[in-house]
A and B are shown apart, each in its own frame.
Chain A
């Protein structure tokens, strides 16, 4: 288990050194999107249209934050369950996305895309929304404001703590961790 400090956008070299179980502190710009926004991004790609942000080297955080209190950049902002993005993520990865932050299992298609196009899936601690918000320095809605908490936001983050779940080598921390502690009768 290693620890890294990385700044976005991420390169192939950045993600290739990461292994499932590594702790990463992310800084720089990341984007938020949940199911509804993912569907729109994929529709744009399929229609050959321009996206609201550059996918190359990007990290997308699966989150629908609470509304910010006056004077604050964002409300509580922990990860949402990632499988709902499984049908969209491989297409975004194929077009240059390098990182995803969420919680929970991904399907084989996402894991395969991580190997083929060099991308990683990071886990953040679900239910730690107040703590994670501390790492978010600014937030700006850049697309689909009508989606409310599901709008795409551009976040500036500093040392956002995440753990590598799926790496570019096919490893899965959920499977590895559980195998180690499972007691079979």
Chain B
């Protein structure tokens, strides 16, 4: 059984979280640059220019890209032949999150659902992190991370369609969600679509779809074609950067599909703003 020290895990995750807050990953940057080149509206083009300037400034001066530094969301694949010594994996990730958000001057954004008071002094600074664990073969720990803002999360939706509605029904639902969202989620956006499974599996898949590098093709050729079709449809909405009207509303659509019940067709749409802050490490 391979061993990883608790402190090493904390150190690696903390470094990743701090870096991600101020450095827009290459895939997002390239997608926005492409949108800037292709945009036909002058107003939207000037907004895209500001977004690119902001990304360069943030990384040069090590400043948070956005004041909404998000809830810390992780997908963690733990190999069956590796163990963390000196503490629990969950504690290590939470500790790393708290340290990174505090020391990086990031915002603590977790609060109580009802009275809305900030939980930084009770649970911890921007804690708890949202962690989705999975067990996999091997002796590695793979950690995918994203800082997920509230504005794009607020327009995300899930439903369960009738099987007869099929692909056309999915397309109509996704289009309705993005149309209703309009300027609110900070377009240009990345759209994660989770199809199938049960209700919660669709939602989780739509989140995980956002962790894929924007612009990389879906390995499943049918899904890849469906993603392109959806992207084209959504860009017809004309929402544009920050909703000011334009041809570049969606940077990418990512779809994940799961087998589902013979009676159901669950669909979830999770929206990611242009500040797509994500990263991953393997230990």
Judge whether A76 and B154 touch: CB under 8 Å.
no
Chain A positions 28-76 with a Cβ under 8 Å from a chain B Cβ: 36, 63-69, 75-76
Chain A residues with Cβ under 8 A from B40's Cβ?
181
Q: Quick check: A125 and B47 within 8 Å, CB to CB?
A: yes
Query: Given B66, B116, B150, B246, which contacts A181 in the complex, CB threshold below 8 Å?
Result: B246
Within 8 A of A (CB), among B104-121: 105-109, 116, 118, 120
Q: Say whether A178 contacts B242, CB under 8 Å.
A: no
* B201 CB to nearest A CB, Å: 28
Q: Which residues of B contact A65 (CB under 8 A)?
A: 67, 107
CB distance from B27 to the nearest CB of A (A): 16
A103 within 8 Å of B (CB atoms): yes
Find out whether the CB atom of A129 lies under 8 angstroms from the CB atom of B67.
yes
Q: How far is the CA of A67 from the CA of B126 in the complex (A)?
A: 13
Residues of A within 8 A of B (CB-CB), count: 47
Q: How far is the CB of A81 from chain B (nearest CB, A)?
A: 5
**Residue interface bits B13-34, CB-to-A below 8 A is 1, else 0:** 0000000001000000000000
Q: Which residues of B contact A81 (CB under 8 A)?
A: 150-151, 154, 184
Does A13 sit within 8 A of B, measured CB to CB? Answer: no
Within the complex, which residue of A68, A125, A132, A149 is in contact with B242, where a contact is CB–CB below 8 Å?
A125
- For residue B61, which residues in chain A have a CB less than 8 angstroms away from its CB? 130
1/0 contact trace for A158-170 toward B, CB 8 Å? 0001010000000
Least CB distance, A142 to chain B, in whole angstroms: 19
Count how many chain B residues have C-beta atoms less than 8 Å from C-beta atoms of the other chain: 49
**B51, B68, B246: the one within 8 Å of A177 (CB):** B246
At the interface, is chain B mostly helix, strand, loop or mixed? loop
| A182 pairs with B238, CB closer than 8 A | yes
Tell whether, in the assembled complex, residue A178 and residue B43 are in contact, meaning their CB atoms are under 8 Å apart.
no
Binds A, one of B52-60, B85-93, B128-136, B222-230: B52-60
Q: What number of A-B contacts does a CB cutoff of 8 Å give?
A: 160
Q: A80-B151, A130-B54, A176-B245 are in contact. Are A104 and B182 (CB under 8 A)?
A: yes
Tell me whether A103 and B183 are in contact in the complex, defined as CB-CB below 8 angstroms, given that A36-B116, A69-B105 are known contacts.
Answer: yes
CB-based contact B47/A64 at 8 Å:
no
| Contact partner, B105, options A36, A68, A83, Cβ 8 Å | A68
B66 and A127 form a contact (CB under 8 A): yes
Residues of A within 8 A of B68 (CB): 64, 78, 80, 129
Residues in A neighbouring B44, C-beta threshold 8 A: 177
CB proximity of B107 to chain A, nearest CB, Å: 5
A69-104 near B? 1/0 per residue, CB < 8 Å? 100000111101101000000000000000000011
Known: A104-B183, A123-B244. 14 other contacts (CB 8 A): A21-B43, A65-B107, A66-B107, A81-B184, A104-B182, A126-B186, A126-B242, A129-B64, A131-B50, A148-B118, A174-B182, A174-B243, A177-B41, A182-B236
29 A-B residue pairs with Cβ-Cβ distance under 8 Å, sorted by A, are A65-B107, A66-B64, A67-B106, A67-B107, A75-B67, A75-B105, A77-B67, A81-B151, A81-B184, A83-B184, A123-B243, A125-B242, A126-B186, A127-B54, A128-B53, A128-B54, A129-B66, A129-B68, A130-B63, A130-B65, A131-B57, A148-B120, A163-B43, A178-B182, A178-B238, A178-B243, A178-B245, A183-B236, A183-B238
Task: Please report B residues at the A interface, Cβ cutoff 8 Å.
Answer: 22, 40-41, 43-44, 47, 50-51, 53-54, 57-58, 61, 63-69, 105-109, 116, 118, 120, 150-151, 154, 182-184, 186, 236-240, 242-247, 273-275
